[in-house]
Structure formats: structure tokens, C-alpha cells
């Protein structure tokens, strides 16, 4: 409970600091946000109206307090570009990005775990050599290039999957695969090295000397202890995807947070940019907190410490 209390306090403090930095970076450092949004050639009446709408006549600390109060109540303000509340815009885009990130990491784990275990069990074999070469290639391939390749093969040539847009779960298969392949390459090496280290432990030799089947030794004993490193790296990939799927969402035309953030930045919609940054930061902090809890359950040494 003490660990959970400290982590929750750290999460709240970090999120407050991120909110403060985001607000003052967007609203104070650039100078006059109204001029930044409309440009120096903007109509004076429209500039004055926008200043009133953004509350620029108030002190920055007052505006920050009001915005933070609205944030806590779920009110992120209004989008200048879309002329609607920011909350519904983010709620509509969030599931797409969240599903894409989770599906990508899930696919990466499904690919990497069996290949990594096979490499660890058959060290020096032809399988390991080929797998390591493929993982090296996978880490070097950009996700957006893989995306174009997958669209050409599975959507245009074979017609099996939709090339772009978001109409059903099938629309996420190709972008998730494009993101999963480079991450599967990294995770395969992590699984391999973790399993090699675990399989050399005394308790694994004891389990084998008792005549336990190979699959029980590998998946029940060895993989369970190697899962700490695997979960740590998978958690890092998940947080990266939650904050960085802009390119893939553009390639596949997905209406996620990345696409929304890019449109807001290009249209200089500062309130929407501000809301998206804070929500993305909150998601990443929550995922990190969840990964910490998973590691706490997997590794008794962390609970002891």
C-alpha cells in the first residue's frame, strides 16, 4: 500500500507539472496566442473577439487556474478549428489510437515470444541465425514504409483488407502489423536474451532433472521469470505508441489522436493542441503505472524491497 500511495502521488504531481508546462508553453511563451492563431494580418475585430474567447484579458495564473479546474471536471474548452467542445473530439479519437497501440504490442508479443524461445533453446542453430538476421532487418525497416508495402500487397493486390479509413476492426490489422513488426524484432531479442539467462539457472536444471516435460519447463518456469524483462520493454513500446502514431495514422487515414493533433497543429488550434498533449501525457502515465503494477506482481523481489 505504501508503494501504491507513493506511485499515485508521483503520478498526480507529474501530471500537474506537465499540465502547467503545457499551458504556459502554449499560452504565454509564444506571446499573443490570438496573433499566433490568426496571423499578423488577422482582422482586428476578430483578434479582439478571439482574445475574449480565450480569456487573454485575464492574468496567466488566473487562466491556468480556470483551465485546470475545467480539466478536472472534464471541460477542456472549445476547439477553434472545429467550433465544438474538445472533450468529445478526444473521446471519438481516443479508442482508435488506444486499440491500435494495444493491438500492435499484442501482435509483437505473439510474434516475438515463440521465436525468442526457439532461439534460446536452439542456440547456434540455423533457426537462430535466420531469426537474428530477420530481427536485424525488422529493426531497420521504418513503420511507414511497411505500411505502404502492406497496403499494396493485402489491400490493392489481394483485396483482403481495407487500405485506409476506420470502419471496423479489420481496418486496424494492417496498421497494427506495420507497427508490430519492428517492435517484434526488438522483443524477440529481449525474449531470447532473457530466456538464455533464465535457462541457465539452477532451478531450471532441477526441474529438468525431475523429468518435467520441455514445454512445462519453458513456459511455466522459465518464461514466467523472463516475463519481467519482456513486460518492461513491452510497456515502453506501448507508451511510445500512445504518444507517437501520427505517421501511421496519416498513412492509413485513421481518425486517431495523432491525426487530430497534426490537424490541430497545422491549423494552429492551440486549445485543442493543449488538451491533446495533456490527455496523451495522462495516458502514458497511467500505462506506466499499470506496467509498474504488473512488474510488482511478476517479481517478488520488488514487493520485498
Q: Where are the domains of the chain?
A: 97-257
How far is CA 5 from its chain centroid? 25
Record the pTM: 0.82
Tell me, what's the pLDDT at 108?
Answer: 92
Q: Tell me if 256 sits within 8 A of 96, measured CB to CB.
A: yes
Instruction: Specify the CATH number of the domain 97-257.
Output: 1.10.3720.10
- Residue 261 near residue 238, CB atoms below 8 Å: no
Closest CA to 191 of 234, 230, 224, 220: 230
Q: How far is CA 152 from CA 25, 107, 248, 259, 273, in A?
A: 41, 21, 15, 22, 33
Residue 29, helix vs strand vs coil: coil
The gap between the terminal CA atoms of the chain, to the nearest Å, is: 13
3-class secondary-structure state, position 210: coil
- pLDDT by residue for the chain (305 residues), tens digit each? 777 788 888 888 998 999 888 888 877 656 666 666 666 666 677 767 766 766 667 777 887 888 888 888 888 888 877 778 888 888 888 889 899 999 999 999 999 988 888 888 888 788 888 888 888 888 888 888 888 899 988 888 888 888 888 877 788 889 999 999 999 999 998 988 888 888 887 777 887 787 778 777 787 777 878 888 888 888 888 888 887 788 888 888 888 888 888 888 887 778 888 888 888 888 888 888 888 888 777 766 665 65
pLDDT of the residue at 155 = 86
- Tens of pLDDT, residues 24-43: 887 765 666 666 666 666 66
What is the Cα 155 distance to its own chain's centre? Answer: 26
Task: Please state, in angstroms and rounded to a whole number, the distance separating the CA atoms of residues 75 and 81.
Answer: 17
Rounded CA separation 73/94 (Å): 18
Burial class (CB in 10 A: 0-12, 13-18, 19+), 18: middle
Buried b (16+ CB within 10 A) or exposed e, 73-97: eeebbbbbebeebbbebbeebbebb
Amino acid at each position: 500500500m505504501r508503494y501504491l500511495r507513493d506511485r499515485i502521488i508521483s503520478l498526480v504531481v507529474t501530471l500537474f507539472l506537465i499540465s502547467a508546462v503545457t499551458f504556459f508553453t502554449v499560452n504565454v511563451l509564444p506571446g499573443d496566442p490570438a496573433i499566433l492563431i490568426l496571423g499578423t494580418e488577422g482582422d482586428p475585430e476578430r483578434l479582439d473577439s478571439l482574445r475574449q474567447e480565450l480569456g487573454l484579458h485575464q492574468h496567466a495564473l488566473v487562466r491556468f487556474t480556470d483551465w485546470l479546474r475545467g480539466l478536472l471536471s472534464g471541460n477542456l474548452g472549445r476547439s477553434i478549428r472545429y467550433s465544438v467542445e474538445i472533450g468529445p473530439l478526444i473521446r471519438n479519437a481516443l479508442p482508435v489510437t488506444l486499440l491500435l497501440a494495444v493491438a500492435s504490442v499484442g501482435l509483437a508479443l505473439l510474434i516475438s515470444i515463440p521465436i525468442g524461445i526457439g532461439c534460446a533453446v536452439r542456440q547456434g542453430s540455423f533457426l537462430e541465425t535466420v531469426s537474428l538476421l530477420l530481427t536485424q532487418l525488422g529493426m531497420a525497416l521504418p513503420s511507414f514504409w511497411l505500411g505502404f508495402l502492406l497496403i499494396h500487397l493485402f489491400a490493392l493486390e489481394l483485396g483482403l483488407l481495407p487500405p485506409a479509413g476506420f470502419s471496423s476492426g479489420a481496418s486496424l490489422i494492417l496498421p497494427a502489423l506495420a507497427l508490430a513488426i519492428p517492435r517484434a524484432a526488438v522483443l524477440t531479442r529481449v525474449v531470447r536474451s532473457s530466456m538464455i539467462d533464465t535457462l541457465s539457472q539452477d532451478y531450471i536444471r532441477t526441474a529438468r532433472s525431475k523429468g518435467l516435460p520441455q514445454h512445462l519447463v519453458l513456459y511455466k518456469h522459465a518464461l514466467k521469470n523472463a516475463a519481467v524483462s519482456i513486460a518492461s520493454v513491452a510497456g515502453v513500446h506501448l507508451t511510445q505508441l500512445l504518444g507517437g502514431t501520427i505517421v501511421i495514422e496519416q498513412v492509413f487515414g485513421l481518425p486517431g489522436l495523432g491525426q487530430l493533433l497534426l490537424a490541430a497543429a497545422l491549423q494552429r488550434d492551440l486549445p485543442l493542441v493543449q488538451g491533446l498533449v495533456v490527455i496523451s501525457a495522462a495516458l502514458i502515465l497511467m500505462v506506466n503505472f499499470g506496467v509498474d503494477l504488473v512488474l510488482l506482481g511478476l517479481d517478488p523481489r520488488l514487493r520485498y524491497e
